[in-house]
Structure 1
Amino acid sequence: MKKCICVLSMVLIFAVSLIGCGRDPADVQLSDQQIKSVTEQLTAREPYDQDEAEYLDVQTFDSLKVYGAREKEGYTEIYVWDLSGDFVKYKDAAYELSGSSMPLTLVTEISGESVKLINVKFPEDGDRYGPSIEAMFPEKYAKEAIGEGNGLVGKLKKEQKEKIKALWNMEISEDLFDLNPDTGAFTITRVVNDGSSGAEDFKTKVIEKGRLTKKEL
């Protein structure tokens, strides 16, 4: 009996040591409320201020995957993948005007449950994309971010749709919304597959057009 207890104790100690080895002592655990707060601050940091906002309601939506967070040089860096989209609300649908999908480092100050976004670090383009992520992220998070595929974007897109549904009670349209800021003239265009040749033959079709007036200030 004593032998069994001794063996069991050794197994438990080994398991605990493995768990401890998998977590870096510099890692910071974030609450759901802290993640929600820093996401809202990221969205508010660069509000959409293009011409469409003079005519219609426009909102930016950010959805994050959080890889982890660490203390660094007196701040807490949060390592995330951000799917960001600017959407315009027209009639019963939301149309995406612009968007981005990339890893970011969020530099924050954290005190208790309070989190304050101080700075945002972006990856570089082209050949510097991978190396810049390796410079921005700890090694284990950099490898994960560089290896991300369409599955992550699809998951974040689903969260984005849920946010739009909650705020505007409408779905995202796949059609293209284009506005002339000088005249207020707009078109909504749909990309369709003609299919008459038996192969993929994509064409555009205008499904609505008109003229908008600027919102009263």
Structure 2
Amino acid sequence: MPKVKNAGSGSALLTRRAAVFGLIAAPGVISAAPLFDTSSGLGMFSPASLNSRGEAGSLLNLYSDPEPDLAPQTRLNQKRVPSFKNLRPLRIALQNANTNETMRLDLLSQSKLSDAQVSQLNHFLRDWRQNEIKAIDGAVIEDLLEICEVFAPRGSGALRLRITSGYRSKATNDMLRRKSANVARRSLHVQGRAIDFSFPDVPISKTSRTAKKLCSGGVGTYRTFLHIDSGPRRSWGA
């Protein structure tokens, strides 16, 4: 089981917006170490890197996320639509690590996600195994976009964002639990409250540090991706 660390109420935590400003202003060049074995000559998104069922290799399987189970009595905030407003133009190139599906998200400075963009995101983050859509909690989408804003390149370039898992139906979660004891019975993915992701051009360690400063919920750090959710504020690693 992963070790879970709960944030104390008296901790001196940076506000989201203050952390964003500080991290954007910080100098330095992002140079990511390889996040996967390239000895086979296959890229992360190469069709040949997927097996015959369209599933990614072991490093990216959905059941590689040993998300700690919340207590049954845990009370969660009501889900809502995202209200994130970016500080500067934001261009994101999303890619699903399991299906190779792509999506482009472009936001002008000081703009919010349109209803059409929210619908696009919910479809992109669907349970691809069941082709089932569930609205993703706006709180976790806002956290993801704030993290993206920190690492997005200046100018016309787009930030590459790799999605490992979004919404997960109960049928999919039950199937994954039969394959691995690491899958949470009450996974927040099932409620549309969690997203697993990584930036191919940013080290996981750097993404993790940023997420822990900005995210209002849980942050799980793994070898090849990060889990964020809109549950209680806590962190763990595996």
> Given the two structures, how large is their TM-score scaled by the length of structure 2?
0.26
Which protein has greater RCO, CA pairs closer than 8 Å, 6+ apart? Answer: 2
**What TM-score, normalized to structure 1?**
0.27
Greater helix content? 1
**Which is higher, the Rg of structure 1 or of structure 2?**
1
